[in-house]
Amino acid sequence: MDYFIDFVRLQCIAHLQKVILKGNRAMSQVEKAKDRLYAGEGLRASNLKLFPGSVREITPEELAEQINKAVAQIEAGDYDVVE
């Protein structure tokens, strides 16, 4: 019986992990950025280009995270104008 309960618990944990992973994928930084940039309620960007950093190989997630962060900061007023 104990063995069965452990088995069910493990199954539940595995299922929860899948749900969480699926949720994380749905809310990935790239997806968030696409939503922010191109959705009807978003910025409706007609162009976007990037200047990469010092790390030669960068993942889409890392780049998208920087865009999300910068846009959110600017929306919050956390920026300086370059005259």
Partner 1 sequence: MTYQALRLGLCGQQLHIPKNTIREHVVQLTGRRVDIVKTVLDTAKCRGFYLSPQNVEHPFVKILGRDREVGNDVIVVAQGMNRCWDRFVIVKELMHMFDKPNEATDTGEKFDQLLSDFGASQSPPSPQGASESNAFWMAMGALCPESHRQPYVKLRLENKISDYDLALKFRIPEQFVPHLFHQQYTSQVEKHETNLT
Rule CB under 8 A: is residue 66 a binding residue for partner 1? yes
Q: Closest by alpha carbon to 65, among 15, 31, 19, 26? A: 31
- Could you tell me which residues come within 8 angstroms of residue 4 by beta carbon, excluding any fewer than 6 positions away? none
Considering the complex, state which of residue 7 and residue 38 has its C-beta at the smaller distance from partner 1.
Answer: 38
Rule CB under 8 A: is residue 57 a binding residue for partner 1? yes
Which DSSP symbol is given to 43?
Answer: T
Considering the complex, state which of residue 4 and residue 51 has its C-beta at the smaller distance from partner 1.
Answer: 51
Among 7, 11, 50, 68, binds partner 1 (CB under 8 A): 50
> In a 3-state reduction of DSSP, which class is residue 58?
coil
Q: What is the CA radius of gyration of the chain?
A: 20
18-47: contacts with partner 1 (CB under 8 A): 30, 33-34, 37-38, 41-47
**# residues contacting partner 1 (CB under 8 A):** 43
